[in-house]
Chains A and B, each alone.
Chain A
Amino acid sequence: MREEDREKGYDFHKKSHTDTMVINMGPSHPATHGTVKFFLTLDGEIIEDIDVEIGYLHRAFEKECEAQKWNGVFPYTDRLDYTASALNNVGYAMAAERLIGIEVPERCQYLRTIVSEMARLSGHYTNVGAGALELGALTAFIYFIEARELLWDLMESICGARLTHNYVRIGGVTSDLPSGFRENIKRIFAKNRELWVDFDTMLTKNRIFLDRMRDTGAISQKDAIEWGFTGPCLRATGVPYDVRRAQPYLVYDRVDFDIPVGSTGDNFDRYLVRMEEINQSMRIIEQCLEQMPDGPINVDDPRWRMPSKDDSSTKMEPLIFHFKQIIEGPQIPAGEVYQAVEGCNGELGYYLVSSGGGKPWKCRVRPPSFALTAAMPLLVKGAMLADLIPTFDMINLIGGECDR
């Protein structure tokens, strides 16, 4: 402080204090993946207040589903969490099957588990990779995108699509594993494990990465539960809740896997949990391939399952069933059901209501990232503006899922 200032009683610190500033961040911002708007009140670089505005990708998922036949909903579910679309298919199909009261054959359950875990891998590669990208680590991002591309090659060999798989059907799946799948998966997993090690070496002990991830965006166990956190973000706080373990579905009770948990609930723990889940998903897939029995992949009941294309093109009865499925839809009895599966971001729940008939009366999705994004103010208030980026990355808002 200058001598004459002190004499005048001039306090530089007090006088230079500026008013808070309100800025819009988004809806399309280069450092956030997903279309979302933050309405920020800043005091210097400190976030005083934040209002999160979602809905930019709202495309009336529920209204569209109510106008479709039960089988026509699958393409819409693909576009919820589009980084892991097969998982959404599986959840919806399981909910519909519980409404009907059928159980799919064992081989089909294994196939569904395999594609679920492949979808989880794809989702985690995207999230962790893009998270690194937005902190400036472009190289690391490209390593994981390569891993994801290889994985999508596998998905493509199963169902013909890379991004929106539309693979599962009520009462079964569309196709069995192609020949040579086991050799391919062995080759690709070996490569992906190398990429994982490279990625891990580049980031996990990287000083810049650590400084931005550690102790930012932390949440306590109690708050996380109260705000409806599930998935990696909840497990990062140390709560080992995983739907696959808590209420096992498909064949998760027959495979051996660990549930990684964190301790501090900050961004770095969320990152570590996801990195370890990548390894665990690979373990699950390998065990499934070992255990998988031969057998049918669809229920043998034309009321619920569309006949195969070969049959409906050559035989009379399957053709009739095919028309029935397309024109009337499966006649699912009236009732309601809530089926949860472990999605990429947490509990993905389907609440289906049938009034008896070919169309769903209501098809509700419980989107995990919706609940996570709702807690954003809690995570970033009082933090630096730059901390918003890693926090939002690790929350992993998927626009398609959050806005529906």
Chain B
Amino acid sequence: MSQGDNKGYGVVDSAVMARVRAKLGPLGLILHTHNQHGDDTVVVQADDILQVMEFLRHDPAMSFDMMMDLTAVDYLGAERTHPYLEPLKARFEVVYHLYSVEKNHRIRVKAPLTLENCYINSVTGIWAGADWFEREAFDLYGVVFRGHPNLKRILLYEGFEGHPLRKDYDKFKRQPLIGPVN
């Protein structure tokens, strides 16, 4: 089991992070990096997500060929835990976990979003498997993925109002089930 440092953001640079920093840093694409608990993490602007992902997917030293996980986090009321969120006035973060089967390394990519501008480009063109994961993040958090081929609810039913994993959605809120659609 790998032991991370417990006090906050570590600064140990892995080979992956060094290359990400060297390649993306000069382009001004990186907002923040850390490797807390040994997980390499890079935070980027939501608008640049496709450019960053293309690099991570196709760069020969990176070749992140598998999109393991995609989810969102709502930091409403806990923005202080991530110092870079406050100046952006961001509330959400879309979190991607990438893995390279070829190189056996991982990276976490995060893109902060505000409530008013809760849009991000879809990565389904890079990893086909992102399809359902993006639908889930849309369903539960209301993040809209631009360019997704079929962005509709996946776990909840059509006609459900709101996005239940947002922190301002009351856990005990009840909604009536709607009747059959067809």
| Chief secondary structure at chain A's binding surface | mixed
Count of chain A residues near B, Cβ 8 A: 52
Cα–Cα, bound, A97→B6 (Å)? 11
Q: Which residue of A lies closest to B130 (CB)?
A: A228
The reply to whether B129 and A103 contact each other, CB–CB distance below 8 Å, is no
The reply to whether B101 and A335 contact each other, CB–CB distance below 8 Å, is no
Contacts of A97 in B (CB 8 A): 1
Q: Which of A227, A338, A366 contacts B108 (CB 8 A)?
A: A338
Contacts of A362 in B (CB 8 A): 73-74
Cα–Cα, bound, A342→B166 (Å)? 30
Q: Which of B38, B97, B104, B153 contacts A349 (CB 8 A)?
A: B97
**B84 interface residue per 8 A CB criterion:** no
Q: Which residue of A lies closest to B36 (CB)?
A: A335
The reply to whether A103 and B3 contact each other, CB–CB distance below 8 Å, is yes
Interface centre among B4, B73, B132 (most CB of A within 10 A): B132
**B16 interface residue per 8 A CB criterion:** no
Contacts of B3 in A (CB 8 A): 98, 101, 103
* B92-147 CB contacts (< 8 Å) to partner A: 95, 97, 99, 101, 104, 106, 108, 127-129, 131-133, 136, 140
Cα–Cα, bound, A355→B156 (Å)? 27
**A292 interface residue per 8 A CB criterion:** no
Classify chain B's interface size. 35 or more
Cβ of A131 to closest chain B Cβ, rounded Å:
23
The reply to whether A63 and B164 contact each other, CB–CB distance below 8 Å, is yes
Q: Which of A58, A98, A249, A349 contacts B4 (CB 8 A)?
A: A98
Using a CB–CB cutoff of 8 Å, the interface residues on chain A facing chain B are 54-55, 58, 60, 62-64, 66-67, 94, 97-101, 103, 223, 225-228, 230, 239, 241, 246-247, 249-250, 333-338, 340, 347, 349, 351, 353, 355-356, 361-362, 364, 366, 370-371, 373-375, 403-404
Known: A99-B37, A361-B73. 6 other contacts (CB 8 A): A55-B157, A62-B165, A227-B127, A250-B1, A362-B73, A366-B97
